[in-house]
Homo-oligomer: A and B are copies of this chain.
Amino acid sequence: MKPTKTYILDDQIGHILRKVSQRHTSIFTSEMPLDLTPTRFAAMAKLLEQGPLSQNELGRLTAMDIATIKGVVDRLRVRKLVESKKDPKDARRQLIKLTGKGEDVIQAAIPDALEVTKQTVDALTKAETKQLLKLLSKLL
């Protein structure tokens, strides 16, 4: 008789990753006083870091699919946090850049985001956090 393989969902790395990500999102939502989601924040933080980028570039740098980044940029544009204009060098591209308001918002949000990171790894020592980041990075 063929033995049934045991499969305990809660022991699987994928399920654990999902739950840890959920907790992070939850911390982000409760700690971020501005109307910013994790992805909207990520897009703006990357624009602050890198300056104007094409939409696809921004997506690649924030690990968002081209369809996903489009929605994120659209919602940021509605809120006047970013604006886009044609790239004079390449007619296919839309250059996305922070507005003045967008820059103010992201600057104001960064301390809160650092606090989110801090709270997320609250249960770990500094050494454990470093080790965790090292191990996770190996999985990319």
Chain B hits for A131, CB < 8 A = 131, 135
Q: Is A66 an interface residue (CB 8 A)?
A: no
Considering the complex, give the chain B residue whose CB is closest to the CB of A11. B133
Majority secondary structure of chain A interface residues (helix, strand, loop or mixed): helix
Chain B hits for A121, CB < 8 A = 13, 139
Question: How many A residues face the partner with a CB closer than 8 A?
Answer: 52
Determine how many copies of this chain the complex contains: 2
Chain B hits for A111, CB < 8 A = 5
A49 touches B14 (CB 8 A): no
B110 touches A18 (CB 8 A): no
Chain B hits for A128, CB < 8 A = 135, 138
